[in-house]
Amino acid sequence: MDHPSLLALFEAYLTAERRASLHTVMAYTTDVSQLIHYLSEQAPEKIATAVTGQDLRGWMMALAKGGLAHRSINRKMAALRAFYVFLAKKGLMVDRPTDALKSLKGKKRLPIFFQEKELLAVLNPYLFPVNFAGLRDRLILELLYGTGMRLAELVALCQTDINLEDGTVKVLGKRDKARIIPFPKPLIQLITAYISAKEKLGHPLTPQLIVTNTGQPTYPMFIYRIVKKYLAPATRASQHSPHIFRHTFATHLLDNGADLQAIKELLGHASLAATQVYTHNALTRLKEVFKKAHPRAEES
């Protein structure tokens, strides 16, 4: 089977069987395409279904020598693992060359988050225009921080997922796993005002909660632009991603005594290990407080 046909089948497998997001499907198919291109340059006779672990390690080394970060290389390794699982399931390959691969160790990057004072500045109601777009933009930022939901979850959020009586929102996370998240009471008034404005503009039939100015369903880049519009002038953060609100949500919960397991459930993490990264931020701040407050902290 030729490579284009393999890639088409792999894309269908990721979409239908793995139920991967569009972003993951595009990233994984791109990574496998890059491997195929590498093989064609190194050994034109070599095909994807006949590679060895040594071939794959050679590609990883070439990527590392080219300056690609270990984190990005590991992402590509995840794509290859999925690809060779797919080939094995379809009976196109017996051995899985990725079994011999180990993830590269990289420096852990602590999540970027806002201090509470910074967040208050970002969410200042007076920063938002007094119209439909202003209501929507403010709701986007308040929902991201108030619930810790992912960008994709916000984009897919429907009006029927909001329960104003209970003050909860139902989100559909990774692998279509649903969870219920409570949101702050002040959001009830904001959501009510936004829905009313949305209906007055004739957009009530759009099932998605967040829509564009013309009532069309929103999309990730649209949210990115709105977040950057308000973050860039208000903070000194080097990144202006919607994900910063998720990190801030988790960090503030932990700082105020929330149980790590509860934070895991609110974030929709598959394992506690993913949530524990926020404890590093807490420990760093505790060390800073200790150095400033303890009389003998700086003694040699």
Rounded distance, CA 173 to CA 252, Å?
A: 21
Q: Which amino acid is present at 177?
A: K
**Signed CA dihedral, 241, 276, 270, 163: sign only:** negative
Q: Which residues have a catalytic role annotated?
A: 150, 174, 243, 246, 269, 278
The burial of 256, by beta-carbon neighbours within 10 Å (0-12 exposed, 13-18 middle, 19 or more buried), is given as exposed
Task: Break the chain down into helix, strand, coil percent, rounded to 5.
Answer: 60, 5, 35
* CB 136 within 8 Å of CB 210: yes
The helix/strand/coil state of 38 is: helix
